[in-house]
Amino acid sequence: MPYLFTSESVSEGHPDKVADQISDAILDEILKQDPNSKCACETFVTTGLVMVGGEVKTEAYVDVQEIARDVVRRIGYTKPDYRFDADSCGVISSIHEQSPDINQGVDRDKEEEQGAGDQGMMFGFATNETDQYMPLPVDIAHRLVEELADIRRHCGKMPYLRPDSKSQVTFRYDDDGKPLGIDTIVVSTQHDEFVKADANTPEAQKRADNQMLSRIETDIRNILIPQVAKTYPPEIQKYFETDFRLLVNPTGKFVIGGPHGDTGLTGRKIIVDTYGGRGAHGGGAFSGKDASKVDRSAAYAARHIAKNIVAAGVAEEALVQLAYAIGVAEPVGVYVDLKRSKVDMNNAEAAEKIKAIFDLRPHAIIKRFGLKHPIFEETAAYGHMGRTPGKKVVRINGHKEEIETFTWEKLDYVDEIKKAFNL
């Protein structure tokens, strides 16, 4: 029997994502000066206030206030009307040194023997539903809010937009887990109060609110959704041509938003950051953590493995779990679950193949993906997975260097996996 599956995303202006981006911006600045830094940085944002705390072991000095304001400004909180803006918000820092009890379990005389920064289990997932090997609901949800932010910044067609927004996409699937079509799209976007009531009465305010909602809904339907659809190949564009339900600002009005409307905190959007609820999640957040924390680095490694498995044609979907003990280099568990597999082997046999191909010690993961580089701020909005690998030039210890981004999204182990699985 066909079923429905739903995923959501949030924009860079969502309070929790503001916090994530500040945390990762601070991490990046630390890594630019001292790549061996250890960092666990948390951020709290609310009306007129940014608070940063956490544990850091580094030789670097960073201006937390300047970094926080730069992030808030880049996102678009630049007007006093928002009750949270880059120039007037207070910034408080309460960062202290990392516990030596934790650090002694991580650092080793030999780098390759570096222990995991904590215990826990991390999951990676991939499916052949999209060219990015991501589930369709979360992929479309990301693109809706990302495109909305681009329209706000550059297009001018929706001049009333403010930075905070959310999306949600419900897909219909058949019995075999194949997508059939979009059932519902929900878009909630913060906006200016661009229609004023003509009288000081509840009825007049209601008329004004309805006029604003009507304009926003029309623009979402006729501007945003067609622009998002055009970013996909024809086999996915067809889903946007079906008669799906569209819900826009269901409460009717969304003027008060951002950190003024809802307090934000680092690490509260872990499902948005990963697969939209598909696969599984070990519970660990990413932003603000250096790569010695396997919550982050091993989750990237698990995604890399799952993506290369599916790209190699081993299965249509793959779920990979890695588990670690604090201070221990080798994972205590490797699990692989193949859906609609193309190979004649069970999941335990598949896991043994993966263990033989990939070095899953933290040092090896960090080296493989270049995770001592300052590449994390751009991961903190619109998902850590399913992004396009690229390059950028940054200044590290005073010298310009070209570094790679989203390296865990590379399809660089496909041939090796094909050989191991006799494909």
Q: What are 206-233's pLDDT values in tens digits?
A: 999 999 999 999 999 999 999 999 999 9
Residue 16 annotated in ligand binding: yes
Tokens 């705390």 -> residue: 53
Quote the pLDDT of residue 108: 56
Quick count: other Cβ atoms within 10 Å of Cβ 397?
10
Residue 269 annotated in ligand binding: yes
Quote the pLDDT of residue 97: 79
Residue 235 annotated in ligand binding: no
Could you please state the CATH topology (level 3) that the domain comprising 3-9+135-253 is classified under. GMP Synthetase; Chain A, domain 3 (3.30.300)
Residue 254 annotated in ligand binding: yes
Quote the pLDDT of residue 105: 54
Quote the pLDDT of residue 115: 82
d(CA 9, CA 143): 9
Q: Say whether domain 120-126+291-420 belongs to CATH 3.30.300.10.
A: yes
Find, among 304, 287, 288, the residue nearest to 365 by Cα. Answer: 304
Residue 114 annotated in ligand binding: no
Find, among 64, 69, 15, the residue nearest to 39 by Cα. Answer: 64
Please check whether residue 338 is in contact with residue 347, taking contact to mean a CB–CB distance below 8 angstroms: yes
Residue 367 annotated in ligand binding: no
Share of the chain above pLDDT 90, in %: 90
* Helix residue ranges, H only, 80-135: 100-103
According to DSSP, residue 238 is labeled: G
Q: Dihedral (C-alpha) 417, 420, 421, 422: value to the nearest 10 degrees? A: 120
* 3-9+135-253 and 120-126+291-420 agree in CATH topology: yes
Residue 268 annotated in ligand binding: yes
Residue 60 annotated in ligand binding: no
Tokens 């905070």 -> residue: 164
Quote the pLDDT of residue 100: 57
Please check whether residue 137 is in contact with residue 186, taking contact to mean a CB–CB distance below 8 angstroms: no
d(CA 103, CA 108): 10
d(CA 402, CA 380): 21
Strands 315-324 and 333-341 turn out to be antiparallel
Contacts of 88 (CB under 8 A, 6+ apart): 48, 80
Residue 14 annotated in ligand binding: yes
Residue 32 annotated in ligand binding: no
Tokens 């996409």 -> residue: 169
- Each domain of the chain, given as residue ranges in start order, spans 3-9+135-253, 120-126+291-420
Residue 42 annotated in ligand binding: yes
Quote the pLDDT of residue 114: 84
Take residue 352 and report the two structure tokens written for it.
């043994």
Weakly modelled stretches of the chain, pLDDT under 70: 98-110, 112
pTM: 0.95
Strands 90-97 and 38-46 turn out to be unpaired
pLDDT tens string 246-276: 999 999 999 999 999 999 999 999 999 999 9
Quote the pLDDT of residue 309: 98
Residue 165 annotated in ligand binding: yes
Please check whether residue 42 is in contact with residue 286, taking contact to mean a CB–CB distance below 8 angstroms: no
d(CA 372, CA 30): 10
Quote the pLDDT of residue 109: 59
Please check whether residue 26 is in contact with residue 41, taking contact to mean a CB–CB distance below 8 angstroms: yes
